[in-house]
Structure 1
Amino acid sequence: MEIYTDVIILGSGVAALQSARILSQKLRVQIITKSNLRSSSTYYAQGGIAGVQSPNDSLQLHIQDTLDAGGQHNHKEHVDTLVTEGIKSLEQIIEEGFPVDRLTNGQISLGLEGAHSRHRIIHAGGDATGKHVIEHLLQQLTTNVTINEYEMAYQLLKNKAGRCIGVHTIQPNGEKNTYFAPHIIIATGGAGALYTHTSNRPNNFGDGIALAYLAGAAVTDMEFVQFHPSLLLANGQILGLVSEAVRGAGGRFVDRNRYPLMEGVHPLGDLAPRHVTAYEMYKARQSGKEVFIDISAITKFEERFPTIAALCHKAEIDLRKNLIPITPGSHFMMGGVVTDGYGRTSIEGLFAIGEAACTGVHGANRLASNSLLEGITFGKQMAQYILQEEISHIDFHSISPSTFYEELPLLQKHDLQQLMSTNVGIIRNEQKLQRAVQHFSFLQDIAKLNLDHLSMGQLELLFMHIVALLITKGALARLESRGAHIRTDYPQTDQALEKQWFIQKQGQLIKGSVWHESTKTRIHA
């Protein structure tokens, strides 16, 4: 079936829905999501939304915290936009009725999280902020929005002028559709499920990044994968996340004997940046220690953190002992499809937003609770740009590049996750990275592969391999340790690489020192 519309949005998280609700005021929008509408990473996000609210805080402090957490690798102008425009977007949804948590006097309750110098984290429903964000945005959608669940985009379509004009999709039963529109938006989220332990949804494989890469778009900063220090671990299984807000409320990293693990490691202690705390938890577990969060200093824990408490009860963890067992795991992708401040990629007509995009706003390591802020801020920026964009006649005849068919030596999902966790995880070195990259050599001409014969499961597996390769190649190229990228063979930070972006574009690895700001400015070697 062929469907023509004004905007196609791939994904259903905060960035997708914030964009959709604004765009749908004037345009017809088709949302395509490969799972249930309420199964995005946003929906399960326990963390809050960072925003300056108190007299002892300032926009400049929030900006500085973001740059410090990001290893000074951030795109400074986009950080300024995130913080200054972000507070306006946040106040707007609060005015609309977004149910933020408040103190008994009616003031907004502000939490503290890692690497923040002030209490500025806004929550809704305690540790269920993401769910409330999604429900709020869904209520704002107009009748111009059509939602297509359990449908996966597997190929972006371009016309002879090189403009992106549509997308091929597939459903679990193999049924396929083709959508055409002047604006295609990738908002598919991150790729945490490339690893064995993750806070992400189990099907977050970086589909949108793979789609864009196959179409010829530039991607960057793929080496920067944030690992969260505290995933809830029970009987060898990850059951969810223990939010950083727990440590903001007084929780501490300890071993079984309640010995504090962050003592003397970092000035911020248990609220150090995530790459620091995740590394320490990793080292403790590698040495044979069990790792916990001690919640004995938190009063009314179950009332303040109902989602986490429910997960603990489900896992038969006795909260009366005040110890929650944890392990580090993949959490957030700082890299992604290269975009400017309006979501424009290096391909005309193709936009990217949220975790699938890379504006450079997060640098080498995302500051806690800046991701939901990013979704509502840049989703609004992009939507407003599209609404005022003047478009001349568009040719909707797609070109079919010469393609070939062959059986691919794809690893099974578990094997690929194990490969990435072992060799491209929290700790990296050249030997491990080379061991990983040799498994992906068959992807060299992948852009010419005919995808039409593959099932939905095979396509997901292929996209996993593509994104895994992009992460591995980025990690091989960055000969330093910065933020979430830690190499034992290059343990120091190299100042010469502070503003160095490693851009990947269909087989090319391009060293770029200037962030592109428009689709008119193409990225060249």
Structure 2
Amino acid sequence: MKEGQYRYCDMDVKVRSYNTVIVGTGAAGYNAADRLYQFGQQDIAMVTENRLSGTSRNTGSDKQTYYKLSMSGCEPDSVAAMAQVFFDGQCVDGEHALCEAALSAQCFLRLVELGVPFPHNRYGEYVGYKTDHDPSCRATSVGPYTSRMMTECLERSVEQKGIKVYGHHQVLRILTDKGAVRGLMCLNRQTKEYELFCCKNIIFATGGPAGMYAGSAYPIGHYGAAGVAFEAGAVGKNLTEWQFGLASLKPRWNVSGTYMQVLPRIVSTDREGGNPREFLNDYFKDRGEMLSKLFLKGYQWPFDVRKVMEGSSIIDLLIYRETCLKGRRVYLDFRENPGGREIDYGQLSEEARDYLERAGACFGRPIERLLHMNAPAVSFYMDKGVDLKSEMLEIALCAQHNNGGLSVNGWWQTNIEGLFAAGEAAGTHGVYRPGGSALNAGQVGSTRAAQYIAVKGQGEAVTPEELFRCCGGEIDEMLALGVQALFAGGEITGSEPEADYLQELKERATERMSRVGAAIRNREDIHKTCEEIRRELSSFKDSIRILGREQLGPMFRLRETLICQYVYLSAMEDYIGHGGRSRGSALYTDKEGRLPDRTLPELFRFRLDEGTLRDAVQEVSYEKGVCSFRWRKVRPIPEKDDFFENVWRSYRSSKNIF
């Protein structure tokens, strides 16, 4: 590590030099740092805007799942079988499916050794259960906070190694030259000064682009930074594929599993909380069917367009209609049974009735059933200041996980030499994925990147003088943007509302994205919004104004969010143009399609994708305000020569890193 002060553009700039900088302090980022150190590359540092924020540390569910290779019982499992499940999720490249299966056991057991208390039986078998899109029993959990425990254990390991973590640093620009990483430009949110990092490698572990949406299950304080990567020239992959589901708004938390299986009352009100209505009764004429669908929503939690016509995802649409189309607010009410009367459990589907009977939960009110089946689920909200015994819980259909992301190769390196992506920032998932596989993918991807860097990414970064010479244009552009915004803001006098100016712009942008580019999408609105954002970006420098340096960070974030929204919406429009139809967690309005019920708006008319694009991968590049697209065939699962002597010989010479 080297550090110094340099004069650039008439100001003093702090410059640090490392072989590798990891951006993000979630489970994937900490694992990348921990693995790099373990593999011998110790000239590393971590950069984060807020060490205690982020999805890994602050999100979960009633039983947050980690998906791994089976390690118990007599049910057969194999790397090939697990890889096939990933690959069958559609639009998944084979090398990612194979790597995420092959390194599953190694990464899982590493977490066990670091102290994550995954349960095993008295003989040492790590038992599992089935999760969504999972034909086996590969899932495990340590409760609501699985990813938090992972992050904290990995963090302790990194701290013990003395790896430097730079907090309060917002990444503004990935600096590149001739298609390779040269450094990072950051804003120190404490000092309000710009700082630079010279580096040969960057592992981008910033999570999904949570800042794009207003309706979000991501924790407050998690924004993502995909727009920074797109601006640097990194290619996006499968950006259309998201996971949306029902979540509480305060706090942001998935209301999956037991929250729905205890059959709460669902109520909508006007914006002020008046005129309460149990709106599900308007759609379901059969009470038993309504309750059964509500139960299924527990473990069919993600919105799945295949489950609209006959399954539980119709409930997501009904809630979307109340909130986004009617402008009402929707709540879970655990204080009373639906309809305010006793439940006849004999009216439920066999699946729901059998589950509740085996759980001994065929009694009382929803809150009593929830306390009986999953008391920690009640305690979680109590810890956040919400007493489910005495108040309702506001919910909405929210963005929860991006299955797409940056396009990476088998070592999780992007098209830019030295730029790697791990965790949700990497687009290794397809349309469908087993629940909990994202946690496994983050550990595997960061391990693969570290393995590659430790062997192929050695060497020192460019000097500060060389960084200024080869990347001065990129640095100057960001500096000029800040100067212009401050100058424009300085011309404003006596305008107190200007303090909320950036916040208003952000809210308008994110609400627009939730309305147009979330679970319900139609081509006309997407095209119109793309044009709006394109104009906003082209005039951003000339129109933006800030009142002081404390607003530099929010201003740069707004710009990054707009870039991200533009790229993602452009990908959705291109997908429709290629004949793409409703699949995964996205319903695309189709005038020639089916309407779930004649009482529902035409916006919900759709046609299911029948697999015509299941073997096609959409990739997108962003350059100077223009998106370009490439469609390619999905790469198959690699065929391997596993003859031991051949593998061993190759491993001795190159560690099998190519």
TM-score > 0.5, shorter chain as reference: yes
Q: What one-letter code is carried by the residue in structure 2 that aligns with 1:238?
A: K
Relative to structure 1, is the Cα distance of residues 264 and 34 closer, same or farther in structure 2, using a 3 angstrom cutoff? closer
Distance across 2 between alignment mates of 1:447 and 1:365: 37
Deviates more, 1:295-304 or 1:471-480: 295-304
Contact 2:17 2:199 in 1 (8 A): yes
Choose 85-94 or 129-138, whichever is displaced more: 85-94
- Go from structure 1 to structure 2 and tell me whether the alpha carbon gap of 1:296 and 1:494 turns closer, same or farther (over 3 Å shift): closer
Structure 1 contact 336–355 (Cα < 8 Å) conserved = yes
Which of 155, 165, 176 is 1:147 aligned to?
Answer: 165
Give the Å deviation of 1:90.
0.7
Q: In the alignment, is the contact (CA less than 8 A) between 1:152 and 1:169 conserved in 2?
A: yes
In structure 1, stretches of 5+ residues that fail to align are 518-525
Q: What's the % identity of the aligned pairs?
A: 17
Are residues 1:352 and 2:471 paired?
no
Is 2:18–2:43's contact at 8 Å kept on the other side of the alignment? yes
| Deviation sequence 1:255-297 (CA, Å, 0-9, x none) | 567755585899x875347232684332121455866799966
Count of equivalent residues? 499
Residue deviations 1:391-424 (CA, integer Å, cap 9, x gap): 5676442322374756699871111121011111
Deviation of the 1:110 alpha carbon: 2.7
Structure-1 residue corresponding to 2:65: 48
Please say if residues 16 and 197 of structure 2, whose CA atoms lie closer than 8 Å, have aligned partners that are also in contact: yes
Secondary structure of residue in 2 paired with 1:274: coil
Measure the CA separation in 2 of the matches of 1:7 and 1:426: 37
Q: CA deviation at 1:491?
A: 2.3
AA in 1 matched with 2:108: L
Q: Among residues 582, 590, 595, which one is paired with 1:481 in the alignment?
A: 582
Partner of 1:521: none
**TM value normalised by structure 2:** 0.68
> Is 1:29 the counterpart of 2:44 in the alignment?
yes
Secondary structure in 2 aligned to 1:483? coil
1:11 aligns with 2:80: no
- Counterparts in 2 of 1:253 and 1:121: CA distance versus 1, 3 Å: farther
Matching residue's letter, 1:281: I
Q: Deviations over 1:195-225 (max 9, x none)?
A: 2221212233331x11111111211222212
Per the alignment, do residues 149 and 260 of structure 1 end up closer, same or farther by CA in structure 2, a change over 3 Å counting? farther
DSSP 3-state at the match of 2:45? strand
Q: Distance in 2 between matches of 1:82 and 1:324?
A: 37
Kept in 2, the 8 Å contact 1:115–1:271? The answer is no
CA–CA separation in structure 1 for the residues paired with 2:194 and 2:15: 9
Q: How far did residue 155 of structure 1 move? A: 0.9
Code of the residue aligned with 1:194 in structure 2: it is M
Equivalent runs, 1:333-412 vs 2, <5 Å = 333-359=402-428, 362-389=429-456, 391=458, 395-396=462-463, 397-398=466-467, 399=470, 400-401=472-473, 403=477, 405=481, 412=505
Counterparts in 2 of 1:316 and 1:254: CA distance versus 1, 3 Å: closer
Larger radius of gyration between Structure 1 and Structure 2: 2
* Matched position secondary structure for 2:31: helix
The match for 1:512 among 628, 631, 641 is 631
Q: Work out whether residues 521 and 589 of structure 2, in 8 Å CA contact, stay in contact via their aligned partners in 1.
A: yes
In 1, the alpha carbon distance for the partners of 2:375 and 2:57 equals 15
Change (3 A) 1:13 1:446: farther
> Residues of 1 paired with 2:376 and 2:83: CA distance?
30
Mapping for residues 186-225 of structure 1, pairs under 5 Å: 186-207=204-225, 209-225=226-242
Distance in 2, matches of 1:291 and 1:305, equals 16
Please, which of 91, 98, 101 is the counterpart of residue 80 of structure 1?
Answer: 98
Query: Within 1, Cα distance between the matches of 2:228 and 2:523?
Result: 28
Q: Distance in 2 between matches of 1:448 and 1:325?
A: 38
Structure 2: gaps (5+ residues): 1-13, 267-277, 282-286, 323-329, 338-354, 361-368, 489-500, 591-605, 637-658
1:117-147 deviation per Cα after TM superposition (whole angstroms, max 9, x unaligned): 33332212x2111111011111222535101
1:315 to 360, 380, 386: 386
Residue of 104, 108, 112 corresponding to 1:90:
108
Alpha-carbon separation, structure 1, partners of 2:540 and 2:238? 20
Q: Given the alignment of the two structures, is residue 433 of structure 1 paired with residue 448 of structure 2, yes or no?
A: no
CA displacement, residues 150-179 of structure 1 (integer Å, 9 cap, x when unaligned):
2111011123x3321110111224122111
SS of residue matched to 2:164: strand
**Higher helix proportion:** 2
Are the aligned partners of 1:437 and 1:473 in contact in 2 as well (CA < 8 Å)?
yes
Distance 1:108 1:238, change over 3 A: same
| TM-score normalised according to structure 1 size | 0.83
